Each structure stands twice: as structure tokens, then as C-alpha cells.
Amino acid sequence: MTILRFDVRAATRRDWRELRALRLEALLDTPEAFGSTYAESLRRTRRQWKMMARDFNYYVAHDGGTFLGMASGGRHDDFPGTAWLYGMYVTPEARGTRVASDLVGAVASWARASGYGALYLHVGAQVARARRFYRRVGFVETGDQHVMSRDPALTLLTMRLDLP
């Protein structure tokens, strides 16, 4: 495994440029993994990105200069007492390291500290690497699945991680 020095921390409004760049990179890298598209994200204003960086509870991995990955957490309105893991992305050069699991760890820590008992996520059925990674860190498929609204050819599976 690559040895990589990195840190994971909560994003702030000042990170908006790097978050924007990473999100746009993610949408080009693995469009089938995300609910929004590169084209619509490109239309977001500077003000919207700043608001997202400040309010969307993002965690970022960085090596001091370069952002290596991102993930966010939010309340799950359908299942009170649980939360979502959203927007998981790790740059190709940081894959196969601890970056992805530490990002999940950061969102899980936030969820536990907020009193949530489980984390849910949606993963594209076609995104084999992500499914395998999520299984390895303890997520299990719930059996729920639905078609992605922006592209009916894409199916999303629901996975859940209990937070003891």
C-alpha cells in the first residue's frame, strides 16, 4: 500500500475552490456514481459553492497542499436517528490507501457524536470498486434499490453501517 501523509478535517467556507475542483473532477471521473452531473455542477455560482462548503458538512482529506478526497454527512429524514454518507470521492492517486476509510471514519464520528445510530448511502450498482470498498469497511446492502432519476439506466443500491 502506498504510504501517504494526509489529514482529514471538516471543510470550511474557505475550502470552496478546492471542493469545487474535487467535485467536478469526481463527476468527470465516475459520472455513474453521482446523482448530479458535471454540466449542472459547472453552472453553480461561487456563492453556491461557498454555501455548500460551509453548510453541507463536508470532510476533506489533504496532504497539506492538495485535496485528496471528500465525503459529507447529513441527517436521514426517512429514518429518524440515522444519517446519510454523501458525495464520497478519492482522487485516483490516493486510492488504495487509508484516505477513503478515514473519510468514512470522519463522517461516522460526526454521526455518532450527533447521536445517529447508523449511516446509509446510495451506491451505483455498476460502481464495483465503491461497492467492494463499502463492504470492506462494514456497510451491508439493505436490499433496497431504485433507478436514478436523471438516468434510468443507472440503479442505486442502499447500504447501511450500524454505528455502535
What string of DSSP letters covers 4-48?
---EEEE--GGGHHHHHHHHHHHHHH-GGG-SS-HHHHHT--HHH
Interface size with ligand COA, residues (CB under 6 A):
19
Q: Which is nearer to ligand COA, 22 or 50 (CB)?
A: 22
Least distance in Å: CB of 47 to ligand COA?
26
Q: Which range touches ligand COA (CB under 6 A), out of 8-16, 25-33, 46-54, 110-118? A: 25-33
Angstrom distance (rounded) from CA 153 to CA 160: 23
Of 127, 154, 157, 161, the residue at the interface with ligand COA (CB under 6 A) is: 127
Of 8, 52, 61, 90, the residue at the interface with ligand COA (CB under 6 A) is: 90
User: How many other C-beta atoms can be found within 10 angstroms of the C-beta atom of residue 148?
Assistant: 16
The three cell numbers of residue 59 are: 470532510
| Residue 158 and residue 144 in contact, taking contact as beta carbons nearer than 8 Å | yes
Determine if 155 is a binding residue for ligand COA (CB under 6 A): no
Residue whose C-alpha is closest to residue 87's, from 43, 46, 29? 29
Q: Which range touches ligand COA (CB under 6 A), out of 2-10, 43-51, 106-114, 127-135? A: 127-135
Contact residues: ligand COA, CB under 6 A: 26, 29-30, 33, 88-90, 95-96, 100, 121, 123, 127-130, 132-133, 136
